Amino acid sequence: MELNNKTVLLTGASGGIGSALAHRLALAGTRLLLQGRDRHRLDRLLSGLPHIERHRVLVADLLSPDDRRALVQQVQQLGGLDVLINNAGTSSFAWLSDQTPAAVSEQLMLNLTVPVLLTRELLPLLRRPGLIMNMGSAFGAIGYPGYSVYCAGKAGLRGFSEALGRELAGSGLKVLYFAPRATRTEFNSPATVELNAALGNHTDSPEWVAGQALIALQRRQKRRWLGWPECLLVRLNALFPGLLDHALARQHATIARFAGHSHDKEMPS
């Protein structure tokens, strides 16, 4: 899709991948609606973008129904949009038994429920032809110990993207699921960074990921998995999950140690 002069709502614009993608999209000539919770971070991002006068900052906590309603109203007042990028997300590297119910709900809400609800609210405001890009993850197709809640959210987002894309066939709207592997942003806790180093897991720069996302938007790629060997592992896990069960079982003790998990916590008291 030709992105010049298109209006793009980018959630999580203040984050590592979001801000790198905002720069790419601004250079491609889009008009950006930059969403985040922190006005200062968004203003700093805006001040570094080309054609600053074309873009808008929209402050909203997406976990708040009132803020989401206000965001949709602002998009309406600004005349609608051509591209929605559901990029805001969060993760917690911890065993399920070590997480509070509130933390679990919040993660599922931001990674899955919010993009579903926001997409639903914005569908009438999306011009045709238009695009919806959902920011997924390699963990949306590979269940990884210590990330059960995050994997549940991203796998749900993958299912949502596929089903909605089929639902909207012929409507002029396309739904893209874009799935990076580990990327060097604040998203990953020090424990995750140390785990990746210990296991030799590859990581990408947010700038490279943003460049690939721009290509996926321009080519309207429905599914895009980033990185080798992750894109092979995604396919292997779909066909032969037992292979991944075996490989991850060998890493289990290391992953549990970096996640700060003690098996004692699982014993009934």
**Catalytic residue list:** 150
- Helices (DSSP H) in 78-201: which residue ranges? 101-108, 114-122, 148-167, 190-199
Structure tokens at 178: 């874009």
Nearest to 90 by CA among 25, 41, 18: 18
**Quick one: which of 7, 30, 87, 119 contacts ligand NAP (CB under 6 A)?**
87
252: left (phi over 0), alpha (psi -120 to 50) or beta: alpha
**Quick one: which of 28, 54, 74, 187 contacts ligand NAP (CB under 6 A)?**
187
**Residue 127 β-bridge partners:** none
**Quick one: which of 32, 34, 72, 88 contacts ligand NAP (CB under 6 A)?**
88
**Measured from the CB atom, is 15 or 130 closer to ligand NAP?**
15
- Tell me: does residue 17 bind ligand NAP (CB under 6 A): yes
Instruction: Name the closest residue to ligand NAP (Cβ).
Output: 15
Shortest Cβ 174–ligand NAP spacing (Å): 19
12: left (phi over 0), alpha (psi -120 to 50) or beta: left
**Measured from the CB atom, is 60 or 164 closer to ligand NAP?**
60
DSSP 3-state percent helix, strand, coil across the chain (nearest 5): 55, 15, 30
- Tell me: does residue 98 bind ligand NAP (CB under 6 A): no
Strand, helix or coil for residue 62: coil
Shortest Cβ 253–ligand NAP spacing (Å): 23
Structure tokens at 243: 């292979």
- Tell me: does residue 161 bind ligand NAP (CB under 6 A): no
- Tell me: does residue 18 bind ligand NAP (CB under 6 A): yes
Strand, helix or coil for residue 32: strand
Segment interacting with ligand NAP, rule: CB under 6 A, options 2-10, 158-166, 178-186, 244-252: 178-186
Strand, helix or coil for residue 137: coil
State the virtual CA torsion across 31, 56, 36, 73 in degrees, nearest 10.
-100
**Quick one: which of 24, 31, 41, 55 contacts ligand NAP (CB under 6 A)?**
41
- Tell me: does residue 8 bind ligand NAP (CB under 6 A): no
Site residues (vs ligand NAP, CB under 6 A): 12-18, 36-38, 41, 61-63, 87-90, 110, 135, 137, 180, 182-183, 185-188
